[in-house]
Amino acid sequence: MEWQAPAVVLDARPHGESGALVTLLTEAHGRHAGLAKGGASRAQAPIWLTGNLVEARWVARLAEQLGALSGELVHPAAALAMEDPLALAVLRAATATAEAALPEREPHPRAFHGLVAVIARLADSAAAALPDLVRWETEVLAELGYGLDLTACAVTGVREDLRFVSPRSGRAVSGAAAGEWRDRLLPLPSFLLGQGPAGPAEWLAGLRLTGHFLARDVFGTQHRGTPAARDALVERVAALAG
């Protein structure tokens, strides 16, 4: 058994004297692990840093085996993000969410391409990438069968003035229809509707919105909490939002 494909490094842990147990995300093979011999060595460790884009090759005698990984660095996202604490937090949150949320060896091409887009956007700035991260998390929810419906108000059917999301149904609610339930609804940031610029307050609203459904529908069904790296990003953005 063998495949070669572009991949995002989601996680890499030392294994043995110089090896690394690496988890990747690919388009066709989904979240896929393998053993990189010498992966923790000085020569190879920079390749397998979390968030890097690599050209990976996996080989095993049988499909169900862990298999051996080798790879070439395509884009050193991890090294570039080291210069900006917020960018590094975004990168770690995205990869940790993908690693924890996506099933092993199950292809989710939208999630893969969306994650690559977030990483590419980090080359511009963390501020540019944060709305993309939230949009990507909505795509992950949709890929896993928990998509949000932000097209029209769940109460009235109108498509204007959508300001909230029901924490139960994941459907949008207009400002006029929110009424006395306003404080129980989740704020809907306008950038998820393709409207207006986004700042820290909108980033935080978006992260809390997708975080609610990830925690309930994805991680909750796995009987685990949200990844620590994602929680750290939310705290950092909350501090920026004041």
Check residue 196 and give its pLDDT: 79
What is the amino acid identity at position 153?
Answer: C
How confident is the model over 113-158, as pLDDT tens digits? 999 999 999 999 999 999 999 999 999 999 999 999 999 999 999 9
What is the pLDDT averaged over residues 218-238? 97
What is the arrangement of strands in the sheet containing 172-174, beginning at the earlier edge strand? 172-174, 162-165, 186-187
| pLDDT band with cut points at 50, 70 and 90 for residue 4 | very high
Which residue, among 189, 205, 198, 165, has the nearest Cα to 174 in the 3D structure?
165
What is the pLDDT averaged over residues 191-205? 93
* The token pair that represents 220 in the structure block: 């909750």
* The token pair that represents 2 in the structure block: 């063998």
Burial class (CB in 10 A: 0-12, 13-18, 19+), 68: middle
Q: What is the mean pLDDT of the chain?
A: 96
What is the pLDDT averaged over residues 45-74? 96
Residue 197, pLDDT > 90, answer no
Q: Residues near 153 by Cβ (< 8 Å), separated by ≥ 6? A: 159, 162, 171, 172, 173, 174, 177
